[in-house]
């Protein structure tokens, strides 16, 4: 009894502590004299806009989301729903409003006049909140800050590209990149997105994201982005060094552009924060450029307004590249987006708020914090820094963000050793990454007994690349079978020094059912990958009434279904089956097009679920 009472008291203390912290967070005074003084000196905001800027950053950040660009016309159907009165009626609040972000392609992104906290807490918005959560978990929408949608757009990913996201977690930008790979049918097999993060635990957040995306063209690796190993492809039995067509460097930063949703920035902000990040940001950029193909594009971005983390990093990188890198003018790609051009001059300021004009003026004890590369270079006017993009919160009611698009013009950068075949970027022992020991990847050959039974049961075409199926159990038990694109498989087989956390999409899962002649069921996340290869003979088309009946009940008696559905089911063996719902929708050209939703079902002797 005494122990139980002690635990209860401890719980009470935790509750009181949590309530105390919450109250303290809500009571934060949104003032910081050094923040204001610093940014006034940097001139990132016009003097006549300063009061508007300060006013808007004290307000909550509006929630935003984008519709996933999916297959089978499902995107258009959901877009029609969001635009309808029925969507606004979910809010049960007359003050609720939603607007389309004009600068996002195909009008697939939306912003609401409410913050995520307000949506979560309001009883009137409960139905809206549930809808957003449900559609997010299903992968049909991504709840993402508006400005964070910009870097993947400017990356200009196309089907077949090999893309690296150096600092990927939590994965909303990675999801956009993957959508670019899926932009054309039948081309995904040649593309791949490698999502990297230094934090092992955050890598598993990316695993959750991968389940939502249903993509076979996805690898998650766990490395320090500043010293990530070289990548290799397996080509004709040999490991061939590879580089990427596109790289996203959304680097760690001080994050003061998130001040509208992270209120503790008001309390914790200091000049030293931005100065301290410059070094690691520059290191990540240099390593990323080494992994980029000649002619490839790299997007550098931060959620910081600080020139030390923005223009100073870009300028020092351009100088070191000696003409091998150029800033890309993206003004034609940002129609409707309000932003300011990059700075061509900025001030280096010590943590005591003293402005220093050169490294010689710097206090000796601060030389480890402020580097010469942080000062504007002598040739700053030649670097085209005005091509950088800075989004300010008051310009269109968003967070703050900085983006620069860079194009690599040479094969070998000045600091690289030409024709070096050695992998000199192994993680040093003192920085050995912690986390779970990952199981190895084992690929099918195409003649395995398990695969032959699966293929026969689901009547899968011979065109399906069975050698891209994979399992991760060293004892041979294949509980889950995954499917990887050809490009993803090539990296897995060729890159021995990569710490790969996960890859591809789970396509089959083992079942223990004595009635079913096949030991594996198709997973919902893997269905879109296998669907084009399944024989139409085993697809069961259902109508609107039937799909409602199935979704509302744990199981449905076959006798309650249409006669044509009963007849189709009678021709199939017991076990996993593929149900298909079709509906005509109105497309952009006002013409009707067919929307298709395939999903996994289970046929029993007399029931369907």
Express each pLDDT in 499-511 by its tens digit: 999 999 999 999 9
Angle between helices 126-138 and 200-213 (to 10 degrees): 90
Please name the residue that has the structure tokens 């660009």.
Answer: 69
> Is there a cis peptide before residue 170, judged by omega within 30 degrees of 0?
yes
Q: Using 50, 70 and 90 to split pLDDT, how confident is the model at 5?
A: very low
Residues 102, 90: Cα–Cα separation, whole Å: 23
Residue 451 has pLDDT above 50, yes or no: yes
Summarize the confidence of residues 30-52 as an average pLDDT: 95
Both tokens of 225, joined, read 């982005």
Instruction: State the CATH class of domain 436-534.
Output: alpha beta
Q: Which residues are catalytic?
A: 303
Name the CATH superfamily for 146-409. Answer: Vaccinia Virus protein VP39 (3.40.50.150)
Residues 59, 51: Cα–Cα separation, whole Å: 13
Summarize the confidence of residues 410-414 as an average pLDDT: 95
Question: Which residues make up each annotated binding site for S-adenosyl-L-methionine?
Answer: 197, 224, 250
Share of the chain above pLDDT 70, in %: 91
Tell me the DSSP string of 213-247: HT-SSEEEE---GGGPPPEEEEETTEEEEE-EEEE
- Strands (DSSP E) contained in 97-253 are 98-100, 109-112, 141-143, 162-165, 192-196, 218-221, 231-235, 238-242, 244-250
Residues 102, 171: Cα–Cα separation, whole Å: 23
DSSP character for 426?
P
Q: H or E element: which one contains 176? A: helix 172-181
Domain residue ranges in the chain? 146-409, 436-534, 535-609
Residue 53 has pLDDT above 90, yes or no: yes
Summarize the confidence of residues 367-373 as an average pLDDT: 84
Greater pLDDT, 14 or 433: 433
Helix (H, G, I), strand (E, B), or coil: what is residue 5? helix
Give pLDDT, residue 591.
Answer: 78
Summarize the confidence of residues 576-591 as an average pLDDT: 84
Summarize the confidence of residues 170-180 as an average pLDDT: 91
Both tokens of 352, joined, read 């005591």
CA dihedral sign of residues 70, 76, 81, 84: positive
| Phi/psi of residue 244, nearest 5 degrees | -105, 150
Question: Which residues make up each annotated binding site?
Answer: 197, 224, 250
Residues 450, 519: Cα–Cα separation, whole Å: 8
Reported pTM: 0.91
Give pLDDT, residue 90.
Answer: 86
């Amino acid at each position: 009894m005494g122990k139980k009472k002690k635990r209860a008291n401890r719980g009470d203390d935790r509750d009181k502590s949590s309530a105390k912290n919450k109250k303290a967070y809500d009571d934060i005074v949104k003032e910081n004299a050094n923040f204001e003084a610093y940014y006034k000196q940097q001139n990132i905001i016009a003097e006549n806009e300063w009061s508007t800027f300060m006013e808007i950053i004290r307000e909550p950040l509006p929630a935003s989301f984008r519709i996933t660009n999916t297959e089978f016309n499902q995107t258009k159907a959901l877009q029609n729903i969001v635009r309808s009165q029925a969507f606004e009626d979910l809010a049960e609040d007359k003050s609720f409003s939603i607007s389309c972000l004009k600068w996002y392609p195909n009008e697939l992104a939306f912003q609401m006049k409410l913050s995520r906290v307000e949506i979560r807490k309001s009883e009137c918005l409960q139905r809206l909140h549930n809808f957003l959560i449900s559609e997010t978990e299903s992968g049909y929408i991504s709840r993402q800050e508006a400005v964070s949608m910009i870097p993947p757009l400017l990356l200009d990913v196309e089907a077949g590209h090999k893309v690296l996201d150096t600092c990927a977690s939590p994965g909303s930008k990675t999801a956009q990149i993957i959508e670019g790979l899926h932009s054309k049918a039948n081309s995904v097999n040649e593309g791949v997105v490698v999502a990297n993060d230094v934090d092992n635990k955050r890598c598993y957040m990316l695993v959750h994201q991968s389940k939502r995306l249903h993509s076979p063209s996805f690898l998650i690796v766990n490395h320090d982005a500043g010293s990530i190993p070289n990548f290799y492809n397996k080509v004709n039995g040999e490991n061939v060094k590879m580089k990427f067509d596109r790289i996203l460097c959304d680097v760690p930063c001080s994050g003061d552009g998130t001040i509208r949703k992270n209120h503790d920035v008001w309390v914790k902000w200091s000049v030293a924060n931005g100065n301290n990040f410059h070094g690691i940001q520059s290191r990540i950029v240099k390593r990323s450029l080494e992994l980029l193909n000649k002619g490839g594009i790299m997007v550098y971005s931060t959620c910081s307004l600080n020139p030390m983390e923005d223009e100073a990093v870009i300028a020092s990188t351009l100088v070191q590249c000696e003409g091998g890198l150029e800033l890309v003018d993206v003004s034609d790609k940002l129609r409707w987006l309000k932003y300011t051009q990059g700075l061509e001059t900025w001030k280096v300021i010590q943590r005591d708020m003293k402005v220093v004009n050169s490294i010689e003026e710097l206090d000796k004890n601060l030389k480890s914090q402020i580097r010469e590369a942080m000062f504007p270079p002598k040739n700053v006017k030649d670097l085209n820094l005005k091509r950088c993009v800075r989004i300010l919160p008051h310009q269109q009611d968003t967070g703050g963000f900085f983006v620069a698009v860079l194009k690599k013009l040479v094969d070998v950068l000045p600091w690289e050793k030409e024709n070096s075949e050695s992998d000199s970027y192994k993680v040093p022992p003192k920085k050995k990454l912690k986390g779970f020991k990952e199981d190895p990847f084992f690929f099918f050959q195409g003649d395995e007994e398990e695969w032959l039974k699966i293929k026969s049961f689901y009547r899968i075409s011979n065109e399906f690349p069975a050698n891209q199926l994979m399992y991760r159990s060293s004892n041979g038990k294949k509980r889950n079978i995954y499917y990887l694109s050809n490009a993803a498989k090539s990296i897995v087989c060729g890159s021995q020094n990569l710490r790969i956390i996960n890859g591809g999409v789970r396509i089959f899962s083992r079942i223990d059912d004595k009635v079913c002649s096949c030991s594996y069921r198709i997973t919902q996340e893997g269905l879109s990958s296998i669907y084009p290869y399944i024989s139409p003979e085993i697809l069961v088309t259902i109508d609107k009434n039937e799909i409602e009946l199935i979704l509302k009940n744990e199981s449905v008696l076959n006798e309650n279904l249409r006669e044509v559905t009963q007849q189709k089911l009678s021709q199939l063996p017991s076990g996993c089956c593929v149900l298909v719902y079709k509906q005509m929708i109105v497309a952009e050209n006002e013409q009707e097009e067919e929307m298709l939703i395939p999903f996994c079902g289970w046929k029993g002797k007399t029931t369907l679920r």
